[in-house]
Structure 1
Amino acid sequence: MRFSNLRPPRPNVDKHFQTQNANAPNALGSEELVDTPIPWLTWRSFVMGIFISMGGFTFGYDTGQISGFLEMDDFLRRYGELGSDGAYHFSNVRSGLIVALLSIGTLIGALVAAPFADRIGRKWSISLWCVLVCIGVTIQIASPSGKWYQVAMGRWVAGLGVGGLSLVVPMYQAESGPRHIRGSLVSTYQLFITLGIFVANAINFGTEDRPDTGSWRIPMGVTYLWAIILGCGVAFFPESPRYDYRHGKVERAITTLSNMYGIPRNHRALMIEFDEIQEKYELEVERGQTSWIQLFRAPRMAYRVAVGVALQALQQLTGANYFFYYGTTIFRGAGIENSYVTQMILGGVNFGTTFLGLYLIENYGRRRSLITGALWMFVCFMIFASVGHFLLDREDPTRTKTPGVVMVVFACLFILGFASTWGPMVWTIIAELYPSEFRARAMSLATASNWLWNFLLAFFTPFITSAIDFRFGYVFAGCLFLAAGLVYVAVIEGQGRTLEEIDTMYVMKVKPWRSSKFVFPESERRASHQSSEKPSASHNMSAPGPPPDPSYLEG
């Protein structure tokens, strides 16, 4: 197919391809295609990946600060309950609501973000949800003494914004990023979540000794800064090229993607990718207007929605948040009494090891990384739970220092496994799992699953751990074993493939365990014709087609 024929059937788009833009040196049309090498990383894709990930930073910062607030003297006096011992404290119900209502807000925000993302675009949706984050922070920071429920409701409103960002940010990165680094770009969302948690812990550590409301209002007010930077800064970024293409702005879509790849507009790799985008778009037009009913009736979509919902639920059921909740106790066993130091250690490990995930996802693949990570965390949790239940003195952990040290080591090893695999990579899988027309709706359901389980674990963990102590870890270990099995039988490898190719492979029912070696026949022919080309010029730029070998397909 000639690149000049690449267009959705819309009059304004047809006009673009019928008349070549004289002011554009690389305008499409009858120009010969080029095969120059593709840069591994361009400054545009780097800046996009880092800056847009501020949406993850906002969530991580909000999550990291609240655990510190619950132990600050002024926050306790204002919103806690006076106990029989004359000291203020938070009951499990009150602390659970203050912490977990953010997750309820994020669940709702993720669901309602889909129609906004499809109507006003990915880019401006990000600004909209940043405004809601600022409103939620204002409600919290203005809460008078004794009105703990205003703090909780403010967190709910902020959660709406955070939930919307959790849908739109990975979607924007996946639709805009070059295929060969798409996994790393989307994974920076999780990287910035961990950075936000660490920065919040550090700021809490710096303000905890203040005797006034500044101990918690200062770190809370800093949230405005992150939301304003992202909400205003995104105005200088282009819209997602796939959103632009589906809404008739073909020239802008081509320009955006060529800039992200760092290649000319008449590059062969760009032609191949837009061939695939056109093919998928034409199928969308044939199906008519997108609806929630079509979401479950379209080819393999019900199956993929179920896989996405399960993956996001299992990301929470890995038990990572359990370590952050119970970290103070186990670190006391190792001789570290200051809970803020504990949080900084866990947050630092979480942030630092996420960089390993950015490497693994593009060099080791999604499937192998997720399966290996789940089994690694399974072993860590079995040892952690066994030592905690049978050897640690839970009344006074300092009396059993050796078990405490062992538990700290395996807590950090667990976080290493989570932060380098299931933490960042599930967001990438979800962003790759669905076709463009259903991506917003399907991702909203999967993301809502994440926030639902986030709420359930945040609210019920104090009750469960008080009843069965560290044996709760065995529950998470079982979920991790299940998670490894789900990835093996249901997740197709997306490393080095376009979003359209991944969609085609799911529709064709390619066996997930053979997907990493699956080759489209057109790519084989292209490889034979281009055997003398430089390898970096192609990056496995193949186009969808019928499978060359039926053994790749599910029965």
Structure 2
Amino acid sequence: MAAMFYFRGLPIGWVAIMLALLASMGGFIFGYDTGQISDIVLMDDFLLRFATCSTPGDAATCTFSTVREGLIVSLLSIGTLVGALLGAPVADFLGRRRAISVECLVFIIGVIVQICSSHVWQQVAVGRFIGGLGVGALSAAVPMYQAEAAPAQIRGTLTATFQLFITFGILVAYCIAIGTRNTPGSGSWRIVVGIGILWALILGIGIFFMPESPRWLAAHGRIEDAQKSLARTRGLPEEEAKGHYIILREVEEIKYSVQYEKQSRGGWIDCFRPKNKTLYRTLLGMSLQSLQQLTGANYFFYYGASVFKAVGLQDSFVTQIILGAVNFVCTFGGMYVLERFGRRKPLIIGGIWQSAWLFVFASAGTAVDPTTHHGIGTLMIVSACMFILGYAMTWAPGVWILIGETFPTRTRAKQSSLSTASNWVWNFLLAFFTPFISSAIGYRYGFVFAENVDMMYTDPDCKPWTSSEWAPSGFTSRRDLIEKTRAAEAQKPLVSNGVEEDRIEKRSGSSEV
């Protein structure tokens, strides 16, 4: 075994690179499961089986109710929420590799439940919930494993591969969906869902060919195994590991950290103690993960195909692939930006950039009917791509890197779980309520994300620990904002973009809706 290359004078083995790439299949599974549903809910056979059809056998007359579509899409997020809370404790108990393998098995069970469904939409939703348990647990265990096993000199970059693979998974889901959409019968969507088993098998089996986390091994008294693990990631022969100065130094650092952790092991309550800024870091992690969802990115990933179909595109699947490609390619730039310019400034600039393009998207769709003005529809697509560019280069990888770097050893697992869980809470809320909100206010939904992100960041009085109660100027509290918004909406009906109302008007022959 030899070092693959040297970084800052220290050897880096090929196993360290393979470890990061293979473990990031957990992110790929997350992205693939996120991306596939946007296209599946538009497939004819899926509509005929699980939607409500006014004319049996005619997919053009089939539609999902907002509740049904919201549950099918969002129950994945409820599963991931539960899985994220369980992920770190399970990884502590079983070890990082065994935990990842078990979580892949749970995901496979969820996939099987989905593809075995014939006409019961609830079974599809439950299958996505079970799959979400595995995805959520992986989202907690994989970054932890990468942060503990990767050499410190390239840890940030390798940890960012988790987000890179999320974007890759989304793109692959879009590509497979466009390839299977014309497949006769249920193969159009069952193939897309079923292929997820392959990704889980690659990770679940392949992870056992990688070294275990040296920190976890040392915590269980397996110092010699920890040395071998470090030797493999450094590309050093195992027979030299015991006496090599790099390995000896890193083992001593790990042993010290483990000893300190045992002497001051933290429980859940310790995550919220102000001492050593532990509370601050817990709230910071939860706020960052929440705001990552509140940028609005998943609005496009979950419902993008439906959104672009609504603006008059004949092939919204192609637009999804364009968005997915932008997301994937720009994540490489994000990895460079975050290493070159740090974490804080890219997040601030990225938030402003995203809000600006969301304003363009929402303003264009609100001002003019995009179904009758091709130029407006094109502008909305360009705006979405520019938004995704900013997201992929800042908030998407940046938050996951920060989560791996921010927490102290003794409470790292629990704080990681809390932070990831907050991500999934907002993921569920946005996935479930988007159909309701979009049907009420249409493309003005973009203003919701744009205003909140931009104003929250430019408000000097808004702190991470007060962001959950933040409200724009003119409102005394978040509750006051909600109540006044509801009162204003009650005074006048809100329509989406006039499309649905025009359809109703044409059917009824009346000028009133």
Per the normalisation by structure 1, the TM-score is 0.76
Deviation at 1:344, TM superposition (A): 1.1
Q: What are the within-5 Å matches in structure 2 for residues 27-426 of structure 1?
A: 37-39=9-11, 41-83=12-54, 87-145=61-119, 147-262=120-235, 265=241, 273-287=250-264, 289-297=265-273, 299-325=276-302, 327-328=304-305, 331=308, 336-390=313-367, 392-393=368-369, 397-426=370-399
Shift of 1:253: 2.0
| Superposed CA RMSD | 2.6
- Out of 265-274 and 435-444, give the one that drifted further: 265-274
Which whole-Å CA distance do the structure 1 matches of 2:201 and 2:419 have between them? 27
CA distance 1:484–1:260, shift in 2 (3 Å): farther
- With 184-193 and 257-266 compared, the bigger mean Cα shift is at 257-266
Aligned equivalent of 1:442: 415
Distance 2:218 2:452 in 1: 40
1:311–1:97 distance in 2 versus 1, CA, 3 Å: same
Instruction: Quote the Cα distance in structure 2 between the aligned partners of 1:414 and 1:400.
Output: 21
For 2:461 and 2:350, the matched residues in 1 are separated by: 13
Deviations 1:367-395 (Å, cap 9, x if unpaired)? Answer: 222222112212222222222222x31xx
Contact 1:178–1:260 (CA under 8 A) maintained in structure 2: yes
8 Å CA contact retained: 2:288, 2:399: yes
SS at match of 2:228: helix
Q: Does 1:430 align with 2:408?
A: no
Change (3 A) 1:103 1:334: closer
Per-residue CA distance 1:431-466 (angstroms, 9 max, x = gap): 111122322211111111111100100111111122
Alpha-carbon distance between aligned partners in 2 of 1:400 and 1:166, rounded to the nearest angstrom: 42
> Which 5+ residue runs of structure 2 have no aligned equivalent?
1-6, 465-513
User: What amino acid sits opposite 1:295 in the alignment?
Assistant: C
Residue by residue over 1:383-427, the C-alpha shift from the partner in whole angstroms, topping out at 9 and shown as x without a partner, is 22222222x31xxx2422222222222211111111111111211
CA–CA separation in structure 2 for the residues paired with 1:253 and 1:214: 47
Separation in 1 of the partners of 2:125 and 2:312?
A: 33
Q: 1:488 to 1:414 in 2, by over 3 A?
A: farther
| TM-score, normalised relative to structure 2 | 0.82
Structure 1 runs not aligned, ≥5 long = 1-34, 492-555
Cα distance change of structure 1 residues 257 and 479 upon mapping to structure 2, 3 Å threshold: farther
**Alpha-carbon distance, 1:490 to partner:** 7.8
Give the Cα–Cα distance (whole angstroms) in 2 for the partners of residues 238 and 316 of structure 1.
33
What secondary structure, in the 3-state scheme, does the structure 2 residue paired with 1:291 have?
A: coil
Aligned partner of 1:23 in structure 2 is none
Deviation at 1:479, TM superposition (A): 3.3
Quote the offset at 1:183 in angstroms: 1.5
Instruction: State the shift of 1:342 in Å.
Output: 1.7
1:228/1:482 CA distance change after superposition, 3 Å: farther
Q: Distance in 2 between matches of 1:278 and 1:488?
A: 42
Percent of aligned pairs with the same amino acid: 50
**Contact kept in structure 1, 2:181 and 2:189, CA below 8 Å:** yes
Kept in 2: contact 1:370–1:487 (CA 8 A): no
How far 1:352 sits from its partner (Å)?
1.3
For residues 149 and 207 of structure 2, what CA distance do their matches in structure 1 show? 14
Conserved 8 A contact 1:241-1:253: yes
Partner of 1:299, secondary structure, is helix
